[in-house]
Chains A and B, each alone.
Chain A
Amino acid sequence: MGHVVSAPGKTAAESPRPQKNYLNEQSGLWSWLTTVDHKRIGIMYLIGIAIAFLLGGLMALLVRLTLLTPDHKIFGSSTPILSAEAYNQVFTLHGAIMVFLFIIPSVPAALGNFVLPLMLGAKDVAFPRLNLVSWYIYVIGAIMAVASILLGGIDTGWTFYTPYSTTTGGAVTLMTMAAFVLGFSSIFTGINFIATVHKLRAPGMGWFQMPLFVWGIYSTAIIQVLATPVLGITLVLLALERVFNVGIFDARLGGDPVLFQHFFWFYSHPAVYIMILPGMAIISELMPTFSRKTIFGYRAIAFSSIAIALISFIVWGHHMFVSGQSQMASVIFSFLTFLVAIPSGIKVLNWVATMYKGNVSLEAPMLYAISFLLLFSIGGLTGLFLGALSTDVHLTDTYFIVAHFHYVMMGGTVIAFIGGLHYWWPKMTGRMYNEFWAKVACALTFIGFNMTFLTQFFLGSQGMPRRYYNYLDQFQPLHAFSTFGSWVLGLGLFITAGCLLASLRKPYDAPDNPWGGTTLEWATQSPPITHNFEGQPVLEREPYDYRPVGAKVGH
């Protein structure tokens, strides 16, 4: 295992602790709220999204509990757990919070902020102050979103479809403005990362010496920059529709509600890839590190990230097959949708090939990576059913699609995120988590997830519509099984949180490079010093080069 860098003044693998690092060099709340250090901002994002995940997760558990029985009552109580109106609001907020407050910023803004500059051998992102601003914008957006719960709630679903969203009561305008504000947070993060990748790579690091995590985050940033503004203007138009009746989405005034769906999905389909690409990016790090083997098909993975980002912009109409868009448009969109499967398949192939004949060690991050492979494959393949025009008409707006996107979003991104969190936890906090409990939690999460959502494929294919409060008695066994699964899943996630948080009580005990990683973030101490590296690291070997130092380097 060779170091990939020559960092001046740095030889000892183990150093006396506690040492000076970005966590303890300054202290006090004020030093955090005014920091421009990408690592601290990453941690602040992590706290923000953890709160959002907890909130959204509790709402999910509540939704599942409500659906346990057809009359929504448990333990012989006389009132339902949630009234129909409350149920509509809770699932809407679950979706909106999970999408806008959790998944979109999860990997890029929290882990990416922390890791990306380290991986590039840079001292910070290109625009540190903009980075802090984006965090404050995120917090303002989050407060607006929570305020909309208190000021009447919203029941439109996270998609805000017209004409319902322009006519229903509640705090829809406030919620759309919250999403608008959160969009700017996302845009600024994207701008920052693109400029950082272009200009702040360490000497010796060309585009194809960048870690694949960087490629994934870079592709994500392209989408953030090019798609998010359209969400902004769409939500402004929706708000103007509510306030002024401008009529663009109102058929009575000569507008067209389907146009809203075009606008919404022009952002929100690429946004799906804002969510999954960073998850894939993490897996591309975990696979070689825990297989002790050079990544298979580096360039294929790098280019497939870019390809996914670009293709994501031309497939949005597959959300609209039954919306009333023209058949011509549906056919074109259905055809284009299948293109996404190609780069996704390339990635899966390359990850599996990386493990093949590797020296695979099954620490918790790798268990998450393997979970990802299984769950994402299911999510991806069921996506083909939905991309095909004829089957989609049957499956649209059923639990099948709920199961599909949870397999991709949660089984994909969230699992990868948790895996990445375990992987970089020693770097971020300087502490090792308890491996045993992490593995238990991983197993429970995997089992609970499949209990919850595999069930829903069956529910959906049998015709159970999504978002419905009431259901036929015949669906009760499957609904109940799904709800039991959500408890197992919830337990797994709580143990994960407890396991990670418990490690913070310990003194610093993490080595600089606990996993034998080859990328630059492992070349500095754990936790890193404020300026990341002592001196400017220079890249001397390719990423994922696990051959001993001195071996001939080349392709």
Chain B
Amino acid sequence: MSMTVVDTPGHGHHGHDPNQQHHFASMAQQFDSAKIGMWLFLATEILLFGGLFVGYGIMQGQHAEAFKSAHHHLDKRLGFLNTVVLLVSSWTMVMAVYSASVNKRKATVILLIITLLCAGTFMVVKYFEYSHKIHDGLLPGKYFSYKGPHLERERMFFSFYFMMTGLHGIHVLLGMVAISWLIFRANRGDFSSSWYTPVDLVGLYWHLVDLIWIYLFPLLYLIQ
């Protein structure tokens, strides 16, 4: 047993992509691991939101009339607008991932900036929707103070509305932070066709945020 540190193949970075971590044998192995890790994380996100969806599903079944009546307070047009905005941002995101994978640095940066702007637009629209609700007293739980005619359990609908869109909004904000970080790195030239894992992973996250909204939109805005 030698006392020296043995420089065996695999550690040390000689002849390796500088982005390769020492405990991986190849870039492909590292990339596949990152992908699996990200998908596992997305599965936890599905189940995290899932709790709210299950609660909504059960309570909607219990108070169908109240939920139906409450959803008229939401503006379908704004919900539709936000859906379109998020879908477009998903497209720019997937195009950004593609651009990064074919070494189109400038296109990557521009597409990411558009994605960020879409996310910002989404939040601004959300802000107007929230302000309107707050003004009318359509608030969750004990803060519900709506004066107009309404069914008693509409309060429950707005609890769900704020919890679900709130949790989703937090995810949009976190996504905006991540996309900003990508813009910075992409602009610096960190990504190339041999390594663009962060773009790919943030892309997956962003599509999940979109995917959750795809369900939130009909459940909250369109139920009859």
Residues of chain A touching chain B, judged by Cβ–Cβ distance below 8 Å, are: 8-10, 12, 15-16, 19-20, 122-124, 126-128, 130, 187, 190-192, 194-196, 198-200, 225-230, 232-234, 237, 240, 243-248, 253-256, 259, 263, 525, 531, 534-536
Contacts and interface: CB of A to CB of B under 8 A. Distances in A.
B43 A225 contact: yes
Contact of B163 (A130, A199, A240, A535): A240
B25 A191 contact: no
A19 B1 contact: yes
Contacts of A254: 59, 62-63, 66, 152-153, 156
B45 interface: yes
A148 B23 CA distance: 40
Contacts of B24: 200
Given A226-B44, A255-B59, 20 more contacts: A126-B36, A130-B37, A191-B41, A191-B44, A195-B33, A195-B40, A199-B33, A200-B33, A226-B47, A230-B47, A232-B48, A237-B52, A237-B55, A244-B143, A246-B140, A247-B155, A247-B156, A253-B155, A535-B9, A536-B9
23 contacts: A19-B1, A123-B11, A130-B37, A187-B44, A190-B40, A195-B40, A199-B33, A226-B47, A227-B47, A230-B47, A230-B48, A233-B47, A233-B48, A237-B52, A244-B140, A245-B141, A245-B142, A246-B141, A254-B66, A255-B59, A263-B55, A531-B11, A536-B25
Contact of B23 (A128, A227, A228, A240): A128
Contacts of A15: 1
B159 A198 contact: no
Contacts, number: 140
B55 A248 contact: yes
Interface residues of B, number: 49
A292 to B, nearest CB: 27
Given A247-B159, A253-B156, A535-B8, A16 B51 contact: no
B52 A226 contact: no
Contacts of B143: 244
Contacts of B155: 247, 253
B10 interface: yes
Interface in B102-154: 140-143, 152-153
Q: Which residue among A122, A124, A531 has the maximum number of chain B CB atoms within 10 Å of its CB?
A: A531
A369 B211 CA distance: 48
A535 B2 CA distance: 13
Interface string B2-39: 11111011110000000001111100010011001100
A259 B1 contact: no
A228 B62 contact: no
B86 to A, nearest CB: 22
A128 B46 CA distance: 24
A19 B4 CA distance: 10
Contact of B52 (A123, A190, A233, A244): A233
Interface string B154-173: 01100100010000000000
A248 B156 contact: yes
A182 B109 CA distance: 37
Contact of B8 (A233, A247, A536): A536
A200 B23 contact: yes
A127 B41 CA distance: 13
B50 interface: yes
B58 interface: yes
Contact of A194 (B40, B55, B152): B40
A124 B22 CA distance: 9
A128 B11 CA distance: 15
B211 to A, nearest CB: 16
Contacts of A126: 33, 36-37
A487 B68 CA distance: 61
Contacts of B43: 225-226
A225 B36 CA distance: 12
B6 A9 contact: yes
A247 B51 contact: no
Contacts of B142: 244-245
**Which 6 A-B residue pairs are closest in the complex by CB-CB distance?**
A233-B51, A244-B141, A15-B1, A123-B23, A246-B159, A229-B48
A122 B62 CA distance: 52
